[in-house]
Structure 1
Amino acid sequence: MAIQHVFLLLLVCALAEVYEKTNPNVFFLNSQNFDKHVTKKRDKHVSIVHFYRERDSKSKEWAEEINELAKDWQGVYNIAVVNCGANEGLCESQDVKTTPTIKVYPPFPAPVQIYDGEISSKSLNNYSSRFINSFVVELTEENYSTFLNEKPSMPKVILFTEKSGTPTLFKSLSLHFENKMLFGVAKPEDKGLVAKFKVKAYPKLVLYKTSDNKSFDYSGDLKFRGIFDWLNVYAETFVSGGTDAVLSVKPWMNQVVPQLTKQSADDICYKHEGFLCAILFLESAPEDSLTTIIKSLSDKYGSKKDRGADVKFMWLDVNTDRGYFESFEGTSIGQLVFLKHGKRNRYVAHDGKINLAEVSNTIEKIGGGDAKFVNIKGGLPELNMQKK
Structure 2
Amino acid sequence: MKGMAKVCAISCKEYSVFCEKQGVKETPTVMIYPPNPVPAFKIDGKLEGKAVFNKLAKFMPDQTERITKDNLDKFLTTEVTKPKALLFSNKKSVPLIWKALSSETVFKRTVKFGIVTEDQTDIVQRYKVKKFPTVIIQQGAKGEKKDTYTGELKFLPLKDWVNLHSESGMGDKVSSAGGAKEESVEEAKPWLVQEVPELTAKSHQDVCFKGEGLCVIFLKDGEASPAEIEMLTGLSKKYTSQLSDRGAKMKWSLGMSSSISAAFEAFLTVVFLARMWMNLAIESAYKELFAPAQLPSAAVFNPHKRLRFTLLDHGEEGEVKGDEQGITKLLDKVLGGDARFTMVKGQKLPAWAQREAAKKAEL
TM-score (norm: length of structure 1) = 0.41
Structure number, greater radius of gyration: 2
Bigger fraction of residues in helix: 1
TM-score (norm: length of structure 2) = 0.44
